[in-house]
Structures are given as structure tokens and as C-alpha cells.
Amino acid sequence: MDCPMDLAQRVALVTSVLLTSACSGSVLIRKDDATFARSLRRYERTRRLVDGDPTAETEAPLFLQAEALYRYRFEPPPHSFTG
């Protein structure tokens, strides 16, 4: 069986994958995450505005999704060196 990588290359690849994954942060949202708290307050405010409009009952879920996608697409968070 002809293998394109020898043992040393495999060890180097596995080592680099393990080292880079060890440096990554958790994907869970911390309880004190200010960005998440601000986003949740903004969502709740928008939800109250939509709920207050009786004509928006059938379109409310679509509007909230569109609002979230707009913010995601056109108001991206600032990028830092680490993330």
C-alpha cells in the first residue's frame, strides 16, 4: 500500500492538530458574556415592538429572522487579533 505521508509527517500533522485545538476557547456562552446579554436585550426589545403590532401576527417570525440576519450580515462584530 503506497502512502503519501511517512510516519514523521503523520506525527507532525497530529501534533499540530492537537496543539492548535488545545489553544481554542470554549464554544459555550459564559454567564457574564456582555455581547450575548446586549444581543438578548436587543432581541427582547424588538420582540416587544413586534408583539405590540396586531397586524404583524402572521409575519412576526419572518420579521424577527430577517432582523437577525440583517444585523448578522450588515453589522458584523469587530475582529480582534485572537478571534
All 3 cell numbers of residue 22? 488545545
Report domain extents, the chain: 33-76
DSSP one-letter code for 37 = H
pLDDT at 10: 85
Three-state DSSP state, 31: coil
Which helix (H) or strand (E) covers residue 40, if one does?
helix 34-51
pLDDT at res. 63? 81
Q: Are 50 and 63 in contact (CB under 8 A)?
A: yes
What letters, b where the CB count within 10 A reaches 16 and e where it falls short, cover 4-36?
eeeeeeeeeeeeeeeeeeeeeeeeeeeeeeeee
Evaluated on CA atoms 35, 56, 65, 76, the torsion sign reads: negative
State residue 72's pLDDT score: 66
pTM: 0.47
Residue 48: per-residue pLDDT: 86
Per-residue confidence in pLDDT tens, the chain, 83 aa: 556 668 888 888 888 877 776 666 777 888 898 888 888 888 888 888 888 877 777 788 888 888 777 766 666 666 766 65
- DSSP code of 29? P
